[in-house]
Structure 1
Amino acid sequence: MTVIQQVSVNRMKIIMFLPLLLLVCSVSADQTETAGHQSCPQDFHAALRELTASLAVQNERITVLQTENQELEAKLESQKTEINQLKQLSEVTQVAFSASLLDQGEGDTGPFNDHTTLVFKHVVTNIGNAYNKNTGIFTAPVRGAYHFDWKVLGRDSTHTGAYLFRNEEIIFLAYESQSSGWPSASNGASLLLEVGDQVTVRLWAGSRTYDNENHQTTFSGHLIFTM
């Protein structure tokens, strides 16, 4: 039984005692009427005052306990919310992905007239599901420092290259030019990202890149730490 329930029981006992007191007083009055005694009304009023005072104290105590109980429930609810938030944060802080350009087969991508987002379809790791293999876009799920690496390979070409973009901002370029053969370029960068920032690799305008079952044109990234 809780403290509030116990106080309520005590109050009910006091209330139930009043009719009994009246009955006892009535019987006592009948028995002593001939003797001229009139102490029962005085005793009754004194007892009534004591009971009234006791009820007031009990009511005040119940009010205090109810307030404390409400505060405790609110505190417990707040703690549950904090635990859920910490659990969700723990889940989103596990972010890492790695993908190559072609999911199967081999072939060239490009050239294009403008810098074009490469869609890396062969995903080998996507912890946190922050990378979208249908769009080639990585979206930051939490504010923090992230690291990215990308590599492009050209075939029978004089040059190949790709930019790393944060939203619409050029960060770094990986570029290689040679007279013939298979040029390749790679680079890496660590970025501070806000929630919702997007990171992409975009093929250098006018160049092309190649991939096959060896997965040589790649894009990877992971969360270093939250901020």
Structure 2
Amino acid sequence: MEQKLDHLMTHFSDVMEEVRGELREMKKLQDLEKRLKNVEEMLEEMKKEKEKKVAFSASLLASGEGYTGPMKPVPTPLIYKKVFSNYGNGYNPDTGVFTAPIKGVYFFRFYAHCQGGTTMAVSLYKNDERQCSVFSWKPAANGNATNGTVLTLEKGDRIYTKLWDETWVFDDTAGYTSFSGFLLFPL
């Protein structure tokens, strides 16, 4: 009987060691599953980051040369027709308005040009609120001005430029009057 008991104890110890080994293997598999899930989540995040590319650049006239303005009151934003790039499709060349496709921090810059004897003034707006401006009062020769700013935008915020009342801008095929912006980073 004692011999049978020793044999059962040895067999029980062997079975327990096998169970422990299988549990270690199961833990390794669970760890591998967790790591695989983390890698899949990272790949999904990288895919989303790739989709968050937003940048545009456009100049005022699609072709030719000419003035825009003067007007009083100025009815609409400046509409930049010659689109150089529009990643993320945030800029609308029919309205002149950039609409943020995602929440984030963006950089915008705009250039304006006038010829001698005319006054040029343009402002950048966020949701109908003036952010910054450029101005040149009747230069003897050509006048140029540029400005830029970093803005935090919610998805759907609208950015555009607009002339001041009774002012002008000039553009030609060289693209002197232009508007650009890009996403610095999403939030």
Question: Do they superpose with TM above 0.5?
Answer: yes
The structure whose residues are more often helix, as a share, is 1
Per-residue deviation at 1:140?
6.9
Q: Which has the higher contact order (CA 8 A, sep 6+)?
A: 2
User: Taking structure 1 as reference, are residues 124 and 145 closer, same or farther at Cα in structure 2, changes over 3 Å only?
Assistant: closer
Name the SS of the counterpart of 2:58 in structure 1: strand
User: Taking structure 1 as reference, are residues 165 and 182 closer, same or farther at Cα in structure 2, changes over 3 Å only?
Assistant: farther
Matching residue of 1:132: 92
The structure whose residues are more often strand, as a share, is 2
Matching residue of 2:133: 173
Which one of 21, 33, 36 corresponds to residue 73 of structure 1?
Answer: 33
Matching residue of 1:187: 146
Matching residue of 2:82: 122
Which one of 151, 162, 166 corresponds to residue 122 of structure 2?
Answer: 162
Q: What amino acid does structure 2 have at the position aligned with 1:63?
A: L
Residue pair 1:164, 1:201 contacting (<8 A) in 2 also: yes
Q: What amino acid does structure 1 have at the position aligned with 2:111?
A: W
Residue pair 1:143, 1:193 contacting (<8 A) in 2 also: yes
TM, length-normalised to structure 2 = 0.69
Per-residue deviation at 1:226?
7.6
Query: In the alignment, is residue 47 of structure 1 matched against residue 7 of structure 2?
Result: yes
Which one of 5, 28, 42 corresponds to residue 82 of structure 1?
Answer: 42
Per-residue deviation at 1:164?
0.8
Name the SS of the counterpart of 2:130 in structure 1: strand
Query: Which structure: larger Rg?
Result: 1
Residue pair 1:114, 1:205 contacting (<8 A) in 2 also: yes
TM, length-normalised to structure 1 = 0.59
- Any gaps of 5 or more consecutive residues in structure 1? 1-38
User: Pairwise CA RMSD of aligned residues?
Assistant: 3.9
Name the SS of the counterpart of 1:221 in structure 2: strand
Q: In 2, Cα distance between the equivalents of 1:210 and 1:153?
A: 5
Which one of 60, 66, 73 corresponds to residue 101 of structure 1?
Answer: 60
User: Taking structure 1 as reference, are residues 106 and 147 closer, same or farther at Cα in structure 2, changes over 3 Å only?
Assistant: closer
Q: In 2, Cα distance between the equivalents of 1:81 and 1:134?
A: 39
Q: What amino acid does structure 1 have at the position aligned with 2:35?
A: K
Per-residue deviation at 1:55?
2.5
Q: In 2, Cα distance between the equivalents of 1:78 and 1:135?
A: 43
Per-residue deviation at 1:145?
5.7
Q: In 1, Cα distance between the equivalents of 2:95 and 2:23?
A: 60
User: Taking structure 1 as reference, are residues 186 and 74 closer, same or farther at Cα in structure 2, changes over 3 Å only?
Assistant: same
User: Taking structure 1 as reference, are residues 147 and 109 closer, same or farther at Cα in structure 2, changes over 3 Å only?
Assistant: closer
Q: What amino acid does structure 2 have at the position aligned with 1:99?
A: A
